[in-house]
Amino acid sequence: MSLPPPASYDTTLAHVSQALNTLQRHIDTLHSRLRLLGTPRDTAPLRDKIHRLQDETKQLLLTTANDLSRLAALANQSGVPQNKLATQRITTDFQTLTARFRDFQAEFTEKSKADIARAKMALAHEEERMDREDAPLLSTGAGASSSDAQQHVLVHDLDIAYNETLIAEREAEIRDIEDGVHMVNDIFRKIGTMVKDQGQLFDNIEANLQTADVHVENAAVQLNTANKRGRWWREVKCRILLVLVAIAAVLALIIALT
């Protein structure tokens, strides 16, 4: 079975461009959903959507970074300056998207930490309130008072369980984000190096183009100077010819008179 032919520069560029468009939509959606956290629309299904889209975006960032490396190699192999410049532009765009995703991760982490702090504070207050309210009920004996005491204990236990579950969920969110942060930081450093290298390459290309422009301009100046010199020499020859004709006429007149 024959292997498929290697992807061309244009094909790889189109694939990376499509991936960047998808990343743009994903990151816009993540930032939009992130703004809903801490509001009445903050629900478990919303957080599930954020987690799924976050994981999908991380994977797409990773594959796109690898595709950009291949694109840079193809651009260098082609030797076409336009390909190298296009690669630099799309790499810079990817770097910008990666930075926006890092901003999302940082903000998501801060929101999760704030949720944990509030839940721990609520948990501490709930335990203190339970100690204050349940002590007299539990000491009154059987009957209605005993039933009330059991109900109070049940309510407090549910509140405590809710806050403990919330804390566990947010801590899991933070661990998941931190794992993604390490991966994205590696991508960001890699792309930063690529942008720096391509920037130097871009400077070299631009310098070469400017040098070529200077050479063309110098050639034009030299051609213009040569044209001026040619016109001047033709004028000199015409003047010499006129002088010679005048001298010949004078000599002819002298000879005729003698």
Using one digit for the tens of pLDDT, what is the confidence trace for 48-102?
A: 999 999 999 999 999 999 999 999 999 999 888 999 999 999 999 999 999 999 9
Q: What is the mean pLDDT of the chain?
A: 77
pLDDT of residue 253: 66
Whether 48 maps to a domain, the answer reads yes
Whether 85 maps to a domain, the answer reads yes
Residues in the chain: 258
CA torsion sign for 181, 183, 188, 189 is positive
Residues 6+ apart with CB under 8 A from 22: 60
Whether 14 maps to a domain, the answer reads yes
- Domain tally for the chain? 1
Closest CA to 194 of 98, 103, 102, 100: 98
pLDDT digits (tens, 9 = 90+) for 153-163: 666 677 777 77
Tokens of 96: 């910008």
pLDDT of residue 3: 46
Mean pLDDT of 98-107: 93
More confident: 179 or 49: 49
Whether 51 maps to a domain, the answer reads yes
Domain that holds residue 177: 9-201
More confident: 146 or 232: 232
pLDDT of residue 205: 46
Whether 252 maps to a domain, the answer reads no
Whether 21 maps to a domain, the answer reads yes
Share of the chain above pLDDT 90, in %: 34
More confident: 26 or 223: 26
First to last CA, the chain: 110
CATH code, domain with 121: 1.20.58.70
Whether 226 maps to a domain, the answer reads no
Confidence of residue 144 (pLDDT cuts 50, 70, 90): very low
Whether 2 maps to a domain, the answer reads no
More confident: 204 or 186: 186
Is residue 192 pLDDT above 90, yes or no? Answer: no
